Structure 1
Amino acid sequence: MTATPQTEPIEIATLAGGCFWCLEAVFDRLAGVQQVVSGYMGGRVDEPTYKQICKGDTGHAEVVQISFNPTVISFGELLEVFFAIHDPTTPDRQGNDVGTQYRSAIFFHNPVQEQSARQMVTALTAEQVFPEAIVTQIVPAETFWPAEDYHQGYFEANPNQPYCAAVVAPKVRKVIAKYAERLKQ
């Protein structure tokens, strides 16, 4: 008699916090994260393109959709990293990236994720972690549209591209230093 293999539990998290290249590069390094896909969510156009998103008139945010094993890394731990690597106090902006596509948002997939996100924002606000009010949207997940193939694994393929070197790399270094115990081996 052969044993049937146990499958790992997998959950999905969808987060928007500026350019998806930054988020993908960071979350892909965390233990328990199975896959990170860059894409778009929260807009009113089906099958949007990067060119449409950059114009800022589709309503989509650049997001990452994270498949993760909750027995290795919790949704709350993903949120902790999320709030550590972007500025959740600037509406429709991350640094020099300006537009609704760069907004801070948590697209929850179930009531537990919604409650966890709201509790995290409440705790960060009470602790006055940020000098301004947190403007991160906490909204139900909608249709996820994967970004074009060339956006997937962008930082890994283009580490010397000026934006990657100036913006993405420092966030990756910060996570490596701050969350070394949570990184993939």
Structure 2
Amino acid sequence: METIYFSGGCLWGVQEFMKYLPGVERTQVGRVNGATHSTKTAYDGYGECVKMEFNPAIVSLETLIDYLFEIIDPYSINKQGNDVGEKYRTGIYSKETNHLLKAKCHIERLENALNDKNKTRKKVVVEVLPLTNYIPSDNEHQDRLTLFPDDYCHIPLRLLHKYKKKT
């Protein structure tokens, strides 16, 4: 198992989308790269994120990044849907240098492909940084959209459960 942290706007929607992907074994919402070690403090520079444990024999990091790009606007700075502010930035974080190198290379390829397709020269603004701090969110935020499916989500419903297995 490997661990990666994705930020893509409000953590509720990102978790609800990611937890159904093949190879993703566990998800947990939290805060990444803030200054403190408590969820009880005011905003301290953190980004909302989803911690994912995944099986690389089933899903590659590059494929997970492709999935992330399905649900974010990679050109938007500190805004996804109606969620605005630095805590809603997009990013990929890891303790593993290899993850960060793979992510940077893959994002560069995605940026080139998107620009060629759209005939533009826009810069993808998804940050790729070492994980310096992670704090799990309180229980009320874990699996929020599974428990309260009518809560707000910036991810369109047609995408939100695209990979959910039919039971």
What TM-score, normalized to structure 2?
0.88
- Unpaired runs of at least 5, structure 1: 1-9
CA drift of 1:184 comes to: 8.8
Which of 94, 99, 123 matches 1:133? 123
Partner of 1:72: 58
Partner of 2:141: 151
CA distance in 2, matches of 1:152, 1:26: 13
CA distance in 1, matches of 2:108, 2:52: 23
**Structure in which a larger fraction of residues adopt helix:** 1
Sequence identity (%): 26
Q: Which amino acid letter does the alignment assign opposite residue 32 of structure 1? A: G
Which residues in structure 2 correspond to 1:86-97 (within 5 Å)? 86-97=72-83
Two-structure CA RMSD over aligned residues (Å): 2.1
Answer whether contact 1:33 1:67 (CA < 8 A) is retained: yes
Q: CA offsets, 1:152-181, max 9 Å, x none?
A: 0101101123x14x74634314x33xxx8x
Pair 1:21 & 2:12 matched: yes
- Unpaired runs of at least 5, structure 2: none
Partner of 1:3: none
Q: CA offsets, 1:98-117, max 9 Å, x none?
A: 11100011112212211111
Higher relative contact order (CA 8 A, sep 6+): 2
Count of aligned positions: 163
Which residues in structure 2 correspond to 1:54-69 (within 5 Å)? 57-69=43-55
SS at match of 1:39: strand
Larger radius of gyration: 1
Q: CA offsets, 1:131-167, max 9 Å, x none?
A: 5321111100122100010110101101123x14x74
Answer whether contact 1:21 1:168 (CA < 8 A) is retained: no
Which of 77, 100, 115 matches 1:114? 100
Answer whether contact 2:39 2:138 (CA < 8 A) is retained: no
Answer whether contact 1:22 1:168 (CA < 8 A) is retained: no
SS at match of 1:45: coil
Change (3 A) 1:123 1:74: same
Q: Which amino acid letter does the alignment assign opposite residue 19 of structure 1? A: C
Answer whether contact 2:7 2:88 (CA < 8 A) is retained: yes
Instruction: Flag as ranges the 4+ runs of structure 1 deviating above 4 A.
Output: none
Change (3 A) 1:103 1:184: farther
